[in-house]
A and B are shown apart, each in its own frame.
Chain A
Amino acid sequence: MNIIVCIKQVPKTADVQIDPETGRLKREGVESIINSFDEYAIEEGVRIKEKTGGKVIVITMGPPQAESALREAVSKGADEAVLVSDRAFGGADTLATSYALSSAIKFIGSYDIILCGKQASDGDTAQVGPEIAETLNIPHIAYVKKIELIDDKSIKIERMMEYGCDLIESPVPVLLTVVKEINTPRIVSLKGKMVAKKAVIKVLNATDVDADTKKTGLNGSPTQVMKIFAPLQKNGSGEKFSGAAKEVATALVKRLSEIRII
C-alpha cells in the first residue's frame, strides 16, 4: 500500500506565551518540532507498511526549514519525503493549506491511505485533514483510535467519539486523522538517524504541482486574522487561606456550608 502522511512543523507551544503585562510575545528559544499528533500518524503509516508492504511518503507544506521535520520523519521510518514550499503558499489558512497539499498529493499520484494527526498544536483547528479529503474527493474518517482491518480494497476502523466509539468501514483510498490512543511511536534507531541524514528531500513549488495561485496562500484564504491578543488573566482577587492544613480546611468547609455546597 502507498501511504501518504501529512505532517506540520510547529513551535513547542508551551513556550509561546504573551507576557500579560507588556502584551508581548515571549518566544525566546522556541524550538520547532513535529506536531505531536503527527508522530502517531507517522508511526501508524510505518506499521501499515510493515504489514502490507508498499511505502510511506511523508509530506509537509512550509518554509525551507521545515525540511528538518521531514528528515525526522524519515528517521522514524518514512521512505520518501516531500516539501511543498513556495512564497505563494505563505499566510495560508486551512482551506488554502489543504488546497496546496491536495495539489501536491495529486502530483505524487497513487496512494491508498492518507494519514494526518488529529490536529496541529499551534492552530488546533483539525480542519486540514477533512478539507484535503474533500478536495481530493475521497472519504475521510476523523479521530481514528484503532485500525481493525485493512486490505487493498477496504479498511475498518474505530472512531473515537465523546462517549464511546463508532465502528466504520470505508473503501480505500481514504484519509484518516488519528488520535494518540492509536499507538505508541517507536524510539528512533541509530540506523534511522543515518538514513535520515542522507535522505533526499524532494521540494515542490506551486508550478511543479500545478497549483492555481488564486487558491493558495493569502489569496486563497477566506479567513483573515483581524487581531491577536493575550487571554484575560484573573487577578488573584479571590479569598486566600494559608497556615496549618487543619485551619485551612476548617475555613474552607465553613465557606462551603455558608454557600450551601455541602
Chain B
Amino acid sequence: MANSIKVFTDKCVGCKMCENACPFNAISVVERLEHPKKFKLAVIGLDKCTYCGFCVQTCKFNAIELKKDVPQAEVDKNLYRGVWVYAEQRHGEVSGITYELLNEGKRLAEKLGTALSAVLIGSNIKSKARELINRGADKVYVCEDPIFTEFQDDPYSGVLTQLIEKEKPEIILIGATNIGRSFAPRVAARIRTGLTADCVSLEVDTETRNLQQTRPAFGGNIMATILTPGHRPQMSTVRHKVFKEAKIEEGRKGEIIEYKIDVQTLLNRTKFLGFIKDTSDTVNFDVADIIVSGGRGVGSREGFKLIEELAELLGAAIGASRTAVDSDWIPYSHQIGQTGKTVAPKVYIACGISGQIQHIVGMGSSNIIIAINKDATCPMMQAATYALEGDLYEIIPCIIKEIKSFRCG
C-alpha cells in the first residue's frame, strides 16, 4: 500500500490555488476535455508529488484528498530507546555544537522519559568525557584508538554504526558541521534509516515517540517538518547556534563506558595527511559579541573599508551577505546565512543588507539587530531592534564620529 492523492473532479473549480501552492511544481491546472468552457481542473503529476499535503491545506473546496500510508515499521521500534548526541571533537577539543546538542537532547530525553548519552570518538580523548556528563549526559560512550586521531569518514562512520547496532538508540543528534554533514549520511545509508539535515527546531510526540524535525528548505524560503515514522534510529543534523549551550553542573552523576573496538572491522581507505589552519583570514564569529555585516548596499570592495573601520572601533567581527561574497568584495569565510555561517552575537549590525530569508536564517537569533538601509520596508529593517533609515555612507561615518566623541567625553 502506498500513499495516494486525488482530485475530486466534481469539487475542483480550477482556481489554481493548489498549483501556486505546490512547492514541487507537481500540479498543473488544465482545460477539461469534456467541458472546455467550464471550470478548469487541477491535475497532480505523481512523478513530482511528495505527498506533503500543502495543496490539501490550500484548497478552499476540499477537492483534494490525500491518504498517507502509515508505513509498516521496518524495525521493532520498541527495541530502540534513548537519545544520543554525537560529541564532535576536532584535534582533541570538543566543539561548541556538542554542548548545544546536549542541552536540546536533554530536553527531548526528559520528555520521552529516557536517558541522554553522548558518543565521543577520538584518540586520547577520555578526559573530555567528564565535562559531557557535567553538561547533561547520563552516559558517555568513549571510542578511543589512534585510528580516530583526525576525522575521516570511514572509521568514524564505521564505529558509530557498530555502536548504534549494538545499543539501539531511538534518536541521534549530530552537529550540522562539515564533519557531521559528511559522515552522518554514510551512517544513515548503512543502517538504512532517515536523516534530516540542518534542523533548526526539534520536538517529540510522546505517544509515537516520533521526532518532529523542522528545517529550512528552498534556501530558507520554506520551513518543512520531517518525520522518520517507520525507521529507527531517527537521525538529525542540527545547525550551530540555534540552541543554547547546556550549563555546567559540577559533580553531576553519569557513567563513562569505554567501547572496545576491533579496529580490524573498520574500513580506513582514506589517509589523513595534514591540516592547514586558515590563518590569513580567520573569522571567528564564535567569540565576537558584535558583528558588523555588509551587503549589496555597500556596493564595492572599497566600501568594505568603512565596514572594517566601524568593526575595528567596536572590536567586532566582519560579516557579509551572499551578494557581497558573490560579487567578490569579501572572501567566503565572512559569509553569514543559509550557505554560510550561523551566528548569534549580542549585536548584529546589518549595513545595506535587505534581509533575504537566506540571510535571516543565519543571524536571526542575534540579541540586538541594528539595520542601516535606504529602504525602510525591507525585511531586515522589519526584523531590526533599531532600524536606521538612510544612506549607510552618510550614517556610518557619523556613527564612527559619535562613538569616538562619546568615548572621549
Binding site for B on A (CB under 8 A): 11, 13-14, 16-18, 23-28, 30, 63, 85, 87, 89-91, 93-95, 98, 121-131, 133-135, 139-143, 156, 158-171, 174, 180-181, 218-219, 221-231, 233-236, 238-243, 245-246, 248-250, 252-253, 255-257, 259, 261-262
Contact = CB atoms under 8 A, between A and B. Distances in A.
- Interface majority SS on A: helix, strand, loop or mixed? mixed
17 contacts: A98-B189, A130-B183, A134-B185, A159-B178, A163-B278, A164-B275, A164-B278, A167-B276, A169-B270, A218-B3, A218-B51, A225-B53, A228-B222, A238-B382, A241-B387, A249-B399, A262-B403
A238 B194 contact: no
A180 B332 contact: yes
B402 A227 contact: no
A139 B270 contact: yes
Nearest to A99: B189
Contacts of A256: 403
A135 B189 contact: yes
Contacts of B71: 224
B103 interface: no
Given A11-B25, A91-B50, A167-B272, 5 more contacts: A14-B219, A27-B25, A168-B272, A227-B224, A262-B406
Given A14-B219, A134-B185, A253-B399, A240 B387 contact: yes
Given A95-B194, A164-B276, A233-B382, A24 B282 contact: no
Contacts of A125: 197-198
A171 B42 CA distance: 51
B49 A238 contact: no
Contact of A133 (B186, B195, B370, B382): B186
**4 nearest interchain CB pairs?**
A222-B194, A249-B398, A245-B394, A223-B194
Contacts of A239: 385-387
Contacts, number: 303
A90 B46 contact: yes
Interface in B342-362: 346-347, 356-357, 360-361
A167 B352 CA distance: 37
Nearest to A167: B273
A243 to B, nearest CB: 8
B182 A91 contact: no
Nearest to B385: A238
B163 interface: no
B361 to A, nearest CB: 7
A85 B135 CA distance: 48
Interface string B1-31: 0110000000000000100111101000000
A124 B361 CA distance: 13
Nearest to B69: A218
Contacts of B3: 91, 218
Contacts of A253: 399, 402-403, 406
